[in-house]
Structure 1
Amino acid sequence: MPLVEDSPLEDNNTQILPTTLNPDNEAYNGDHDDDNDVPVNKKTSFNGRLNQYFHTAKPTSSAPPALSSIKRTATTTTTRPSRTSSPLKRKRTTPPTSTTTTSTRITRSRSRSSTSTPTSTTSTTSSPRPRKPPTPPTTSSASDSLLTDTIPPNLTLLLVGVNPGILTGITGYAYAHPSNLFWKLLHWSGITPIRHPPSDTYKLPELYNIGNTNIVERPTRDASMLSKKEMDAGVPILEAKVREKRPEAVCLVGKSIWEAVWRVKVGRGIRKEEFRYGWQDEGMNMGRVEGWEGARVFVATTTSGLAAGMSVMEKREVWDELGRWVVERRKVWEMEKGGDGDGSDGVKVE
């Protein structure tokens, strides 16, 4: 009989593996076998062999989501299996990517923030600046107003206003605004026997030997818009007109005109106790030259409807004083002219 090697003995279920030589004549057993080799003479169960092909995925750490002020409406999660060594080198198919869609409620505050522009963006649109009112010119010009002087020689009375109003400058008629009391005060005081409209401005010299001019020619809405420098600059011009035409008296229609004349003549502002309405001292006559003592000065109230410092009755008291003098002087003028001396000079009295 052929000789047969004894099979390895089993002791307490322990297997003794045979020792063989590898191509390099080195001894090895199944413990040093490749991972792909199945152990020889090793009892394995069905579950044991199945576990050799069971794949356990290693957990992968994912970075925490970045903070965001906007909740995303859908979140996509992709899970890829990690490759680990397995007992068998066999080609494994990659499992399909699992996609999970999560619905998220969008709140009103989040929705508003999602439409807002980035904070780094700045608006380049500038708000409109408030428009400044135009500054009136400081120099006067005769072309600014259609009103012209009416100063024939040897007038009984020359009325001197501050400057033309806007309506006066447009129409060319003195004291043309309806709120101005000028034409009423002329009539109430008797300076004119009837109440004339502003359109009769250029008839006064012929009818009553009364003329009209202004210390400043530039028209404004109110006399307070004129500077002291502008007023003072008009004084020598007014003096020259009076010196040339030689009226008997000059009526300054407004306190501010007399204050300007005082500053130029005296060299300082007039004190409160020095000011008075009515006739002024003869030493303050205007237009004085050698051989002529100059015109007497009467300071009357302003007739502007914007001036509320005095009542109408107080203004009438001042103008009445001037009116009494004018009525007497007109009688003399009419007699010299050849009239009847009734003060009407053919004008119908109301």
Structure 2
Amino acid sequence: MIHYQYLNSRLLFIGINPHHGSFSRGVPFSNNKMFWYLLSRSGIIRETVNELKNDQKLKLMWEEKFNRVYQLGLVNIIERSTRDISLLIKGEELPGANNINSIIRDHQPAVVCFIGKVTCQKFTALKDVSFGWQPNLYNSKIYVMHSPLRGEASIRIDDLKIVASVAFHNIQ
């Protein structure tokens, strides 16, 4: 099971649901670690890609530094793990979307970053979602980044640099 982190986040990532491997390790995106490598390559976290390849070091960073040191948060819309998102059931996202709406309203992270269009579509129930900045929700800026699992890494790194620059613009 993954214990999600969101308290005191300047930048809150929203995922869709965990893969079985990530769920069993207790660390989001630990089955395919590309999300973590992109965070490293974009400068959002200081751990190297080689350090993040080690499951124990990744888990320690998730538990000890992700939220407390880096002021990052991550929650999934759906808690049930699946091999891929095609196995999700329509409507399964509703309780999680309501919970995330409350998190955003109550904790007001500077930036909320949806990891992929499908994630934002599940949250908003809108079909027509584009990458990039969206209308604000409460006092939080909303961004939809490209999924870290497919495609060119440089696009995802650019997405992450954009959201980090806004989330941490007044933090020294």
- What band does the TM-score fall into relative to the shorter chain? 0.7 to 0.9
Considering fraction of residues, name the structure with more helix.
2
Match of 1:323 among 150, 161, 169: 161
AA matched with 1:270: K
AA matched with 1:207: V
Contact 1:278–1:318 (CA under 8 A) maintained in structure 2: no
**Could you tell me which residue of structure 2 aligns to residue 280 of structure 1?**
134
Match of 1:184 among 9, 28, 37: 37
Contact 1:191–1:327 (CA under 8 A) maintained in structure 2: no
**Could you tell me which residue of structure 1 aligns to residue 127 of structure 2?**
270
Contact 2:11–2:73 (CA under 8 A) maintained in structure 1: yes
Q: Structure 1's 319 and 278: CA in aligned 2 closer, same or farther, altered over 3 A?
A: farther
Give the structure-1-normalised TM-score: 0.43
Q: How many residues align?
A: 163
Report how far residue 174 of structure 1 moved: 1.6
Q: 1:210-289 maps to which residues of 2 (within 5 A)?
A: 210-263=72-125, 269-271=126-128, 275-282=129-136, 285=137, 288=138
Q: Tell me whether 1:194 sits opposite 2:51 in the alignment.
A: no
Contact 2:19–2:84 (CA under 8 A) maintained in structure 1: yes
Q: Distance in 2 between matches of 1:218 and 1:175?
A: 14
Q: Helix, strand or coil for the counterpart of 1:332?
A: coil
Give the structure-2-normalised TM-score: 0.83
Once superposed, what is the RMSD of the aligned Cα atoms? 2.1
**Could you tell me which residue of structure 2 aligns to residue 148 of structure 1?**
3
Q: Helix, strand or coil for the counterpart of 1:218?
A: coil
Contact 2:114–2:143 (CA under 8 A) maintained in structure 1: yes
Report how far residue 180 of structure 1 moved: 3.6
- Identify the structure with bigger relative contact order (alpha carbons < 8 Å, sequence gap 6+): 2
Q: Distance in 2 between matches of 1:188 and 1:317?
A: 12
Q: Distance in 2 between matches of 1:303 and 1:171?
A: 19
- Percentage identity across paired residues of the two chains: 25
Contact 2:17–2:76 (CA under 8 A) maintained in structure 1: yes
Q: Helix, strand or coil for the counterpart of 2:96?
A: helix
Match of 1:175 among 17, 26, 29: 29
Contact 2:145–2:156 (CA under 8 A) maintained in structure 1: yes
Report how far residue 218 of structure 1 moved: 0.9
Who wins on radius of gyration, i.e. which is larger? Answer: 1
AA matched with 2:143: F
